Amino acid sequence: MATRVGIIYHPIYLEHDTGEHVENVQRLIATTAYIQEAFKDRLYNISPRPATLEEICAVHAKEYILYLREQVSKGGGWLDPDTVTSPRSYEAAIYAAGGAITAVDAILNRQVDCAFALVRPPGHHATCWQAMGFCLLNNIAIAAKYALANFDIKRILIVDFDVHHGNGTQDAFYADPHVLYFSTHQYPLFPGTGTIDETGTKQGEGFTVNVPLLAGWGDDEYQAVFEDILAPIARRFEPELIMVSAGYDAHWADPLAQMNVSVSGFGRLVEILKTLADMLCQGRLMLTLEGGYHLQALSLSVAATLAVLSGNKSFDDPLGRPITTTKPTQLHNFLQMLKQIHHI
């Protein structure tokens, strides 16, 4: 039986007008055009609803939401040196959070087997009290809180393979044993969090797993981390839903980082995640878009992700792998350190 793959999208995401900012409307214009051509009618298109104030306040302070809404109502502007808004940014943001919620609903109500929320603005840097790093609302954290509150689910695994550490998502669940947050990210890099010894606090101790990677690492290193660290941790945790902050800025062509993952490398990571979901939680796998700023690499990587989710390991990767002259040698010792810290 073919896997039913949902795609969540709304034109309002293009109304978050950031001008020439690197996180701009062309990211979704290019990606949606490419996947419409590549997949025709093989995806289940699902329209999102806006997240409610109550759902958003499960993660964000109400005072912050009211401040954000007020700033946008005045025409928008810069919230910090990285994060800009426009007159319809608040509407786009609540539909982005709602898109992640809609993906969860579609999966847990068995409308689809897995789903990708193709949203913007992204979310994983947004904290309880502030926007940052291009993010206004923490879409995946809001959706995870929604899943725990509205379904008979006790354990969620969030995997974040964006090249930047999802500090906002980590903060939301740092003391929560019901959500295991696993992040691979270039380090050091914005926002400067996500060290190997940030492992949670109080009841959440041990339920945060940070994998800070060296610049220049690519497909082989990421695959080793997913197979040797993520897989055994996931099997031990036994999640009932796997949620993914899918950022594609670790691609070697991306302008904001210095990692060397290829489109095929992302495909392999998603294949590992799909296998874990099939093994541990009836295939329940939800992804939401985070970063990725090289338009062709982003479009190809999202398409590769959707192909793997659909059960097809064949996809286009015309960009190929990067030409590298040096091979990292520290991986083995790094993996051993992670295994020791997390008792693998």
What is the set of active-site residues?
125
Which residue intervals of the chain are DSSP H helices? 26-39, 53-56, 62-73, 89-108, 139-150, 167-173, 219-225, 231-237, 263-280, 295-309, 331-341
3-state SS assignment for residue 28:
helix
**Short-list 286, 192, 186, CA closest to 240:** 286
E-state strands within 150-257: 156-160, 179-186, 208-213, 241-246
Helices and strands counted in the chain (H then E): 11, 10
Amino acid sitting at position 50: P
In sequence order, the 6+-apart residues with CB closer than 8 A to the CB of 176 are 203, 204, 207
**Short-list 250, 28, 235, CA closest to 117:** 28
- Structural contact between residues 135 and 123, judged by C-beta atoms closer than 8 angstroms: yes
3-state SS assignment for residue 41:
coil
